[in-house]
Structure 1
Amino acid sequence: MKDDLESLEYGKILAQIKSHASSEYGQRYLETHLPSSDIQQVEKWLKETEEAWELVRKNVDPFTFFVSDVDAVVDLLNKQGYVPVEDFLNFVKAADVLVQLRRKLSAETGVLGSLAKRIVPLDAWLNDVRSKVDESGYVKDDASRKLSDIRRDQKRLSNEIQDKLQREMDRYQRFISDRLVVKRGNRYAIPVKSSNVPQVKGIVLDWSGSGQTAYVEPFSVVDMNNRLEELRFMEEQEIYRIFQELCSQLYPIAEEIRISLRILGEIDAAYAKAKWGSSMRGTLPKISQNGLINIKGARHPLIPQDRVVPVDIVVPEGRIGVILSGPNTGGKTVTLKTIGLFAALLKIGAPVPAVDAQLPLYNRILMDIGDQQSIESSLSTFASHIARLKVIVEEADSGDLVLIDELGSGTDPDEGAAIAEAVVDFLVRRNVQFFIATHLWRLKTLAADRKEIINASVDFDTEKLKPLYKLNMGVPGRSYALEIAQKWGMPELFISTARSKLSEDHERVEKLIEQLQERVKSYEDLQREAARLRDELREKNNQLDKALSQLDAKRTKILDETRAKAKRILEEADEESKRLLKELSQQSKANQRAYQIREQIKNMLEEVVKEDDEMMEKQRGGPEPIPVQIREGDTVYVTKFKQLGLVLKLSEDTAEVQIGPLRATVAKTELSKVDASAMEHRRGVSSVIKGGSGVEINVTQDVPMKLEVHGLSVDDALEKVDKYLDQAYAAGLPYVYIIHGRGTGALLRAIHEYLSTHPHVSRFRFAEPSEGGTSVTMVYFS
């Protein structure tokens, strides 16, 4: 037995989805691929829809226009290798989409990508077509050399004919009605007054509607018009040949094209489902096990989105059936149809209008919804219900979904209730999941007594006596029949009399239900209050985080200002030391004193940096624990060297650290992690304090092994040598070469005197002859 989807109005939903398809193939795919219970097939469809939805979000849509059915064109190509121009153009549109599908989706790794790779490649053929035929079907002049020659001859001859006719009109100017060359039946002619036709030598091709003008082809252009007709025939023959040549390329791959068009339909169907789901603000359902249903914010797709009320439908694992009760017009039937439609949409791999959805993949969906009485078949309302219940009882089995509206109605209440209980008992024994809407209190009691069944109700505003269209799981509902009757103006005496007729059991059950509903409402109020407090706490936490961020920003600003001040002092001191060195450079014996002065300045500035470091550590709260925080690739502060470094490798107690151009192995206790924002500031400070003479050094730069000062004045050379030696010493070079040349010897003597007093130079000598001899001095550092 197939799914019974007519009562769900599934056809209307399918029509909505089909309206988003971009081809007749996609529409046909949606029509012919009925809801399936094959889990592998459904999971494939869900995956296709998911991938299409993601591509839609990325604006990747290969369907630029609607693709008509061109199967007949492919059949014709397969039989005779040629099709009419109009059919050919329709096929070109389909081929264009096939090319776009293959080009845009083949790079995708999912199901759609695999499908696209199976599409026959038509790129070269389509490029050939576009080079010869435009979108309107007009064959371009350069489609072939022969066509180009024919059309050139046509144009030349056409101009000659018109020139000839202009001269004829000069000759017959008294007889023509208008000085205008016209065409009749692809032949050129001139307009002649009907009364003057005998005076013009030629052939009458046509008359005007009024009969006042004859269109005459003078004998002087008959042969030329005949030749033009021949050229037109030759043009048609060449165009036919070109189309035949293009079509013949498709003949060997006609079957591959047919398969590719089916793939186009499957991909288009996935796009249609994704676009429909997006328009419904829906989600893709997930397949659950053991009867679990968990749907959040379910909306019936046929109710306008500005009017539909979302409901949550939750059926725990192990529960087979749901007994749904509540007042009329409260939404019971809509809830049943919503569940049925969601189950059907899952079976075609389509989205559902909900926030989140998880439900089983049912074998079949069977139902008894709506009043289908038939006068022709002599079926009453009750009889029509029984006819459908008979089918359900005979065929429903484990894995099916059964939906029944107003079970047991339309007959004696006691007998109807007995039939209803028997149906429920049958479905439970068969392990068939079901949703039954009813007013019968015996079914509500049955659900409370049996663990396989759960009660549910639609909410109702008891003050305004209006349905709220809200579903309460676990709570039976009241019918509110007397209250609704009273609202609609039934006399009070009638209401009180009716109430007195109710049995004590009925009164007791209704009272218990009312108390239970009140408790549920109180519980929901508590839940809302808890959610409000949770949101309020989250907001306060966000405010606290914002305040801490602002405090951290202020701290960073203070640190930045302090570092900037220290750096400024260092730069001023450096400039001062340079000035002193320049003044004392003429007095070689005073060089040692200059270096002493600069060492004092350096020591003083290192104290400033030390204070800055200490303040930074306090602001940061001290170094972070190495075992927990530091990883390979982190930037760290090396206490031993007072410099920043990059952690290259970690061992148990030590770490290998890159410090500028050097690598060092240091104890982990000598390291503390720094953040990226502090790195640049610290690098700037450490680079300043390492110079032996206070000159600013960038330790991260490569320092060459040789310095060329040949040709410079003594002052300029010494200043350059001074800065270079500081850089080389800070970079850890063991020795360097200073190229000064021989010359008069004055520069050599000045450099050697300077080297003899430099605090970082242990010794110096002339280079080996192969290295430059006495033109080069080799300097060793202490």
Structure 2
Amino acid sequence: MIYPVNAADKLGFLEIKELVRQKCLSEPARDLVTKIQPQVNPEQIQKFLHQTAEFKTLLQTDDPLPIDHLYPIRPLVEKARVEGAFLLEEEFHRVLLSLRTVFALIRYFKEREGQYAHLDMLFEHLTIENSIVRSIEQVIDDRGKMKENASRFLLDVSQQIQKSEQEARKRLETVFKTAQNNGWTADGNLTIRDGRLCIPILAENKRKLKGLIHDESATGQTAYIEPEEVFHLNNKVRDLEFARRREIIRILTELTNSLRPHIPLLQSYHGLLTKLDFVRAKALFAIDIEAALPEILKTAEIHLVNARHPLLFLNAKAEGTHTIVPLNIKMDEQDRVILVSGPNAGGKSVCMKTVGLLQLMFQSGLLIPADGNSKMGIFKQIFADIGDDQSIESDLSTYSAHLSKMKHFTQFANARTLVLIDEFGTGTDPQFGGPIAEAVLEVLNTKNVRGVITTHYSNLKVFASDTAGLENASMLFDNAAMKPLYILQIGKPGSSYALEIAQNIGLPKEVVRLAKAKIGEHQQNVESLLVNLERDKKEIVDTKAAILKREKELLVKQQEYEELRDYVDTNRKELIKQAKEEARQILKDANKLVENTIAEIKSAQADKEKTKEIRSTLHQAIDKHSPVKAPVKKVVAKSDAPADQDLQVGDWVRLLDSGNEAQVIEIAKNKNLILALGELRTVVKPAKVEKLQGKEKKKVVKRIGSVSTGDASDFSPELDIRGMRTDDAMNQLELVLDRAVMIGYPSLKIVHGKGDGILRKFVREYLRKYSHISHFEDEHADRGGDGITYAYIK
């Protein structure tokens, strides 16, 4: 599919695979990455791409995957397949940990069944075989060691070993003390020699202690003796240890035999872990390069929108010095081959390599660093001629190597072939290289190939402008600043700017003048025309960018306006709803009050004093629900407020059209005021309000303060109750919650600390009973976890 075989490496595909390989957790997954190759089966490509895209979404938006251990199971399964063989304790432990991970993954995706349709295909209806895990857990503990009670005989032997060791130790210490008291021992304590506990005895006293000499010191002054009284006990311990080892091998063999019928299922589990690790690595790499899933086409077309070379993007991201200029290019039935020209170091080769590398990634199931509305077709062949492939062994010069590739291209290329050629026609005399390149291009065009070709040859630019299926393109160049812009412009050829660059780097003027004279008037005119076209194109691009920027600003303004309008509508509806509810409650209370009053008057049997007292109580209750009668001030309608009033957040104002007082809680970007009118939020223009000052302001603040706990300007939505007594903390919480509800704050941060969890428990219980709380949750684990509670107000 790829010709020559090193073309993928020259495009940078090997480096891409290595970056993906580094994201893998297991060696089998790394082996899969090494084997990645471009595919031609559309269904297979689509499956790989969608799996990677789904895993990327999972990593960015869903709960973390329960991947704790990814030990490769296959080698252990192959060992267990052999009759008579058995897995060791640590090997069973690895199998156990891997199976727990597999089962956790199966449960994870089962809970999200249908949410990740393409990832579900990896499971192939795998079931959780708990019997395997249970059988291993009965024998192997969490440290990877054999359980003492794995069998009755093993438990008995272990207990006998422990008992015999204690008895031997006790007798040995008795002998050691006796030897010390007699002055037979050397300096030091009991020591181990040949796996047996021995007493260090001075060489001249070694005949005084009966026993077996296991070793002596380098100087020969100390002998290490195992006393005769302990020797038989230690032999008994050794025999018991051999018996214990035989029993362990018997149990492991029996456990391996029970595992053998499940070998096919275990291999499937291994395949699942490997594939998930492989797809996860591709998804992590996609996140690093900010990749997306393009639209998959059945036709051999390419339409890249804001594409970036992944390797250059990662380098720029690591350095943080500059951004990558995105590439926009389209190849379809009308414009099959894009002929890119322009100045040296202007980005022609990067443009061509970006197209080739992204096509290889796409057909290998990797997401590409481009916008999601990009479109990619599938090519059965990718031919590339990049760099110098001269070969001394094959007696090939640079140009001969190019011609060998052109021979292959013209013989085997077709409409499903992507051709990538860098510096087309170079390597020989331009007088002959240009015509040969033009002839090759004509043959490739008749075969309906797709491709990107870079060149400096003028005859190729002219041929492309006159031939259907070929399209000129150029890399824009700022001829005023004499620097490339790295922007691909489709439709016109570009100048090489050879003379301008030569003059800019300081080549003598005489040399430049002679060069111009030798080029010829016609060629100079062509180059001048191309330079002028480049300048015009740059102006058009700059103007277009300015227009787009202005359009974005207008969209932002429109969105702000719509948000403010929705805000006002929402608060108006909420106020009406609350007013109706309050009116309903007042009416209900009034009916109840009247009924109670009548009943009390009847019970008082029309006693004048008692009736007067009851009526006074009734009037007080009525006055309680009546509005506060503030001094009436006649409001004169004004068209505009005083021009010099300086309004700030926290100021009190009067609405000119209604006479109501309100407080400024925010000033919008368009200078409109967001006011708090009780629990209502409203937006007005500065000209529609009058700022309250002096005594008038104090009266309003005093009146409003009698029914409010404060305004939004001095309210803090964070409460720290660490170290408080429970009663004090609850009082503080109640005050702040009431105030938050009064001024309409959406949430409250409560810092209670972790400790023994007492304050946290009381806070949660109080919040559950508070009718205005919709829900609450812990802070993120990295920022305090369950030591902080966020309460959200309805």
TM-score normalised by structure 2 residue count: 0.69
Q: What is the aligned counterpart of 1:130 among 112, 115, 137?
A: 137
Mapping for residues 553-632 of structure 1, pairs under 5 Å: 555=572, 559=576, 570=587, 571-572=589-590, 575-576=593-594, 578-584=596-602
Q: 1:312 aligns with which of 321, 324, 327?
A: 327
The letter of the residue matching 1:102 is I
> 5+ residue gaps in structure 2?
607-614, 627-678, 681-794
> CA-to-partner distance for each residue in 1:299-345, whole Å, 9 max, x for gaps?
22222033561322221532211001111111211221111111111
Distance between the aligned counterparts of 2:506 and 2:89, measured in 1? 74
Alignment of 1:398-547 (within 5 A): 398-547=415-564
Q: Distance between the aligned counterparts of 2:463 and 2:298, measured in 1? A: 25
User: Are 1:342 and 2:376 matched, yes or no?
Assistant: no
1:98 alignment partner, one of 96, 102, 105: 102
The answer on whether the counterparts of 1:25 and 1:69 sit within 8 Å (CA) in structure 2 is no
In the alignment, which of 74, 93, 99 is matched to residue 78 of structure 2?
A: 74
Look up the match of 2:45. Answer: 42
Helix, strand or coil for the counterpart of 1:514? helix
* Secondary structure, counterpart of 2:493 in structure 1: coil
CA pair 566-156 structure 1, distance change in 2 beyond 3 A = closer
The one-letter code of the counterpart of 1:129 is I
Please tell me whether the aligned partners of residues 180 and 190 of structure 1 are also in contact (alpha carbons under 8 angstroms): yes
| Corresponding residue number in structure 2 for 1:275 | 284
What does residue 330 of structure 1 align with?
346
Amino acid at match of 1:310: V
Report the counterpart of residue 241 of structure 2 in structure 1. 232
1:124 shift after superposition: 2.8
Change (3 A) 1:586 1:137: closer
Amino acid paired to 1:146: F
What per-residue deviation string (whole Å, max 9, x for no partner) do you get for residues 534-583 of structure 1?
22222332343354356547756875786588568644465245413542
Bigger shift: residues 549-558 or 169-178: 549-558
Residue 106 of structure 1: CA displacement? 4.2
| Partner SS, residue 149 of structure 2 | helix
Shift in Å, 1:144: 2.0
Q: Which moved more, 1:546-555 or 1:175-184?
A: 546-555
CA pair 249-55 structure 1, distance change in 2 beyond 3 A = farther
> How far did residue 422 of structure 1 move?
1.6
The question of 1:223 aligning with 2:239 is answered no
Identify the residue that residue 51 of structure 1 maps to in structure 2: 54
Matches within 5 A, 1:274-293: 274-293=283-302
8 Å Cα contact 1:324/1:438 also seen in 2: yes
- The 2-side partners of 1:450 and 1:211 are apart by 101
Task: Give per-residue Cα distances to partners, 1:638-657, cap 9 Å, x unaligned.
Answer: xxxxxxxxxxxxxxxxxxxx
| Amino acid aligned to 1:99 | F
CA distance change for structure 1 residues 399 and 558 in 2, over 3 Å: closer, same or farther?
Answer: closer
Deviation beyond 6 Å, 4+ runs, structure 1: 585-588
Code of the residue aligned with 1:288 in structure 2: it is L
Question: Given the alignment of the two structures, is residue 160 of structure 1 paired with residue 167 of structure 2, yes or no?
Answer: yes
- Equivalent residue, structure 2, for 1:759: none
TM-superposition CA deviations, 1:601-639 (whole Å, max 9, x none): 9xx9xxx9xxxxxxxxxxxxxxxxxxxxxxxxxxxxxxx
Structure 1 residues 123 and 114: alpha-carbon distance in aligned structure 2, compared to 1, 3 A threshold? farther
Deviation, 1:201, is 0.8
- Give 1:160 shift: 0.6
Query: CA offset at residue 159 of structure 1?
Result: 0.8
Secondary structure at the counterpart of residue 249 of structure 1: helix
Query: 2:209: which partner in 1?
Result: 200
Deviation at 1:434, TM superposition (A): 0.9
For the residue of structure 2 that corresponds to 1:305, the secondary structure is: helix
- How far off is 1:381 after superposition? 1.4
**Amino acid in the other structure paired with 2:139:** K
Q: What corresponds to 1:186 in structure 2? A: 195
Cα RMSD (Å) of the superposition? 3.2
**How far is 1:38 from its partner?**
0.7
SS at match of 1:355: coil
Partner of residue 244 from structure 1, selected from 236, 239, 253: 253
Cα distance change, pair 65–305 in 1 and its aligned pair in 2 (3 A): farther
Name the SS for the 1:177 alignment partner.
Answer: coil
- State the one-letter code of the partner of 1:46: L
Q: SS at 1:214's partner residue?
A: strand
CA distance 1:244–1:43, shift in 2 (3 Å): same
Q: Which runs of 5+ in 1 are unaligned?
A: 589-596, 609-676, 679-782
Aligned to 2:705: none
Q: Is the 8 A contact 1:291 1:320 kept in 2?
A: no
Alpha-carbon distance change, 225 to 39 in structure 1, aligned in 2, over 3 angstroms: same
1:517 Cα deviation after fit: 2.5
Cα distance between partner residues in 2 of 1:523 and 1:574: 78
Question: Contact 1:150 / 1:231 at 8 angstroms: preserved in 2?
Answer: yes
Residue 556 to residue 409, structure 1, CA distance change in 2 (3 Å): same
Deviation at 1:530, TM superposition (A): 2.2
Q: 1:288 touches 1:358 (CA, 8 Å); kept in 2? A: yes
Name the structure 1 match of 2:19. Answer: 16
C-alpha contact 1:60 1:104 (8 A) present in aligned 2: no
Q: Residue 114 of structure 1: which of 106, 110, 121 is its match?
A: 121
**CA shift at 1:96, angstroms?**
4.1
Count how many residue pairs are aligned between Structure 1 and Structure 2.
596
Question: Using the alignment, how far apart are the partners of 2:79 and 2:264 within structure 1?
Answer: 9
1:405 positional shift? 0.4
Distance of aligned partners of 1:390 and 1:316 in 2 relative to their CA distance in 1, 3 Å threshold: closer
Quick one: structure 1 residues 79 and 469, their matched pair in 2 at CA, closer, same or farther if it must change by over 3 Å? farther
Q: List aligned pairs for 1:735-750, cutoff 5 A.
A: none
User: Which protein has the larger Cα radius of gyration, Structure 1 or Structure 2?
Assistant: 1
CA distance in 2, matches of 1:473, 1:64: 51
Partner of 1:355: 371
SS at match of 1:401: strand
| Amino acid paired to 1:192 | I
The SS at the match of 2:311 is: coil
Most deviating of 357-366 and 550-559: 550-559
Question: Percent of aligned pairs with the same residue?
Answer: 30
* Cα distance in structure 2, aligned partners of 1:370 and 1:186: 68
Between 540-549 and 143-152, the greater mean CA deviation after superposition? 540-549
CA contact (8 A) 1:401 1:434 kept: yes
CA distance in 2, matches of 1:223, 1:558: 95
Correspondence 1:140 to 2:158: no
Give the Cα separation in 1 of the matches to 2:470 and 2:121: 45
Deviations 1:200-224 (A, max 9, x none): 1110122345544322111111110
- In the alignment, what sits opposite 1:636? none
| 1:355 to 1:477, Cα distance in 2 relative to 1, 3 A | same
Change (3 A) 1:583 1:97: closer
What is the Cα deviation at residue 149 of structure 1? 1.5
**1:66 Cα deviation after fit:** 4.5
Task: Verify the 8 A CA contact 2:72 2:270 in the aligned structure 1.
Answer: no
For residue 447 of structure 1, report the CA deviation from its aligned partner: 2.2
